[in-house]
Every structure is written in structure tokens, then in C-alpha cells.
Amino acid sequence: MAMADVRRARVLFLIPEDWVVCSHRLPLLRAAVAAGHEVFIATRVVDHAGPILETGAELIPLGFRRGFRGPRHELAGLRELIRIYRRVRPDLVHHVTPKSVIFGTLAARMTRVPCIVNAMTGLGFVFTSGSVLAHLMSAPIALMLRVLLRGPGSSLIVQNADDVVFFRDRLGVPAGNVVLIRGAGVNVRDFTPAASEPDGTLRVVLMARMLADKGINEVVAAARLLRARRTDVRILLAGRIDIENPAGIAPPQLAAWSDEGVVDVLGHVDDTAGLLRSCHVALLPSYREGLPKSLLEAAACGLPIVAADVPGCREICIDGVNGILVPARQAEPIAAAIGRLVDDPALRRAMGAASRRLAVEEFAEEIVTKATMSLYADLLGKRAEERGSDLLR
């Protein structure tokens, strides 16, 4: 059944942070509204209400927070979601982030939501960190996911082929419930290459939340190695501080690196396209990703990429084509890859052009949005047929 045949479905998005809605999901909200659906977005409202409301979706302020805060807080968060789901009575819910997947699916099951879409944008701290806390949490969370992600009317979106294997083979999610949609897409009209490379010192930019598992400690170590060898390169760290995440790097540490002069700590940057066009190379030696939006934007801006050879990153950084893959958790290969690109302008230009082609041909936001809307149509159509077309109105 085509999307046009499923009229005025109630679609509810659960995304805990409003800035994530704006950075990753506005095109999907607009597409759902344009398709004729009644769209709701439950999120913690801080300072991005305006762009969300402009999509035509109804905004539901949310107290539910990402990160686990103890049984009393988590039970209160679940009760809040149940109240929202009972009030909205959605035909389809779309959960983003691991915690939203767990708690949102529990609420959806308890309130009999017919169609559930869960987007695992990455495996998160629990499955990527080697800490004792992450190890203790991984088994019970894996069990919850194994139970919750099964059943009819449920689909799990993953962003790379490695995660398809992880959820299907390790967690036992039925293959028919797992859908590969590669990232949130990138606006290739707003993110475009500079007319020519910037003059002056070569600038390498890492755009990400300031988390240890983004490889930031290794980047700082690589910057020290480079500084000892040459003065023609600067490394920029651009992104939000995220102390709610267990892997968050504390502000005093970032300030110490900045004072040392080893890296330039920019903090959050609104004009990311402008920043990328002022740089020569994009960098992300993360430990594991879903499919990083920052590298999509860098590719669309025609930058060569240095990234860790891990799931998610290697979907965008094709070694020897548009970038250089390096081993995760090692500083020396990062420094060597950057040095190679510094010394070879022709290689930078060739890889940058390949990045732009890849972004346009495979990762433009229209491609991703169309795939997600088709998934909605399939779920809603099947449910309508099963229930005698009671979703058609």
C-alpha cells in the first residue's frame, strides 16, 4: 500500500533532545507532515522550539532524559511516556537513541501502539566502552533489546551493515524486522565545497560531541606528535560538551588542552558548513558509530576524511578513495595520515572530489527520507489490512 493510501495517520517521534531533532530529523518531520500525517514530536525543549514548530508538527515538551538516573527517575520517565502515548494515541511511533528505544517501546507495548519504528543511531556507551560500568550494563540491556525488538508491526532501523549483523546474529532480532537506512542524510545544497582550498595553515577539523569514544584523547596525542614535527597544521575540535554522557570529556580538560595550544577548542559551532569550508581535512577516529552526520557534512563540503576503521565511519570514509582509514585507539596512525594529506595537495583535491560525489549519490537527505517514509507506508499499510483498514481515515 502506497503512502498516499494511508491518510492522516498519527505519527509520534520520541527524540530526547531538541537540538538532535534540529540537527538530524527536521527533513523527516517535514516529509511526514507533507504526506498528510498528523505529526507529534516529544522532546526536551531547551532552545530549538522554533525550527521544530515550523515543520508543522505539534511539539510536546518532555521531562524524560537520556542517560540512566536511577530506578525512581526511570520509572517516572516511563510513566510520562505512557501518559503521552495514551493522550496522542499514535498509529506509529519512531524512537531515536538507545534509551528511547527501550523506554519508548515499553510504553508503546503497554498502550497498544500498532506500529513501532526504532532507530539505533549507534550502539552507545554501553556497547562501545570498555569500562566496568558498561560491561555490567551490557547484558541486561542486550536482553531487553532482544525481547523488545521482536514482534509484528515493529521495525529496527540501523545505519550500517555491521549493526545489521550485530542485532540479527548477536541479539537475535528477526531479519525481517531489521532495516538498513544509512544515516540521517545530508543537505547537499547547503553543504557545498568551497570555491578553492583555504590559504594558510592546513586546518583539520573534528566535529563531534566531546566524548572520549569519539577518539578525542587520541587526536590530542596525535596533535602533540604533529606539533613536534611540523608547524603547518592545526587541529580543531568543534562540538558540544556532553557531561551527561559517561564518556563526556570534562570542560577543565578541554580548557587545559586549549591553554596548552595543542588543539583549538571551538565548542559548539552553529555555522558548520562555513566551518567545514574553512578547513582542509575532516577527522573522526571514533571507536564505533552508527553513521556520523559530521562526516556526511564534511563529505558534502568536499573534504578528504581521516577516520577510524570501525563500523559507521568506514561507510563514509572509503580508504584510498575519499579518505584514509586508521586503526582505532591509536595516535600515531592519525598523525601519519594527516601528515600525508598535508604533504600532498593533489591527493587532498582528488579525495575531496570523491567525498562530494559519494555524499550526493548515496547520502543526500532526500534518499534517506524517502526510504524512511517507505518504511512507514509498509508498516501502516500492513496494519491497516490486518485491522480491516481502520487506519484509513
Q: What is the pLDDT of residues 89-109, one digit of tens each?
A: 999 999 998 889 999 999 999
State the DSSP code for 329.
Answer: T
pLDDT, mean over the chain: 90
Q: Are 351 and 323 in contact (CB under 8 A)?
A: yes
pLDDT of residue 100: 92
Domains of the chain: 3-185+365-386 (3.40.50.2000), 202-362 (3.40.50.2000)
Q: What is the pLDDT of residues 354-363, one digit of tens each?
A: 999 999 999 9
CA 271/CA 279 separation, integer angstroms: 13
Q: What is the pLDDT of residues 291-346, one digit of tens each?
A: 999 999 999 999 999 999 999 999 999 999 999 999 999 999 999 999 999 999 99
What is the CB neighbour count within 10 angstroms for residue 6? 25
Q: Are 263 and 236 in contact (CB under 8 A)?
A: yes
Q: How many CA atoms lie within 13 A of 80 on its CB side?
A: 19
More confident site: 14 or 141: 14
pLDDT at 138 over 90: no
Q: What residue spans of 56-210 are helical by DSSP H?
A: 71-88, 98-110, 124-128, 132-148, 161-165
Long-range contacts of 71-77 (CB under 8 A, 24+ apart): 74/103, 77/103
Percentage of the chain lying above the pLDDT 70 cut? 90
391 band by pLDDT with thresholds 50, 70 and 90: very low
pLDDT of residue 98: 85
Q: What is the pLDDT of residues 168-188, one digit of tens each?
A: 988 888 899 999 999 889 999
What pTM value is reported for the model?
A: 0.86
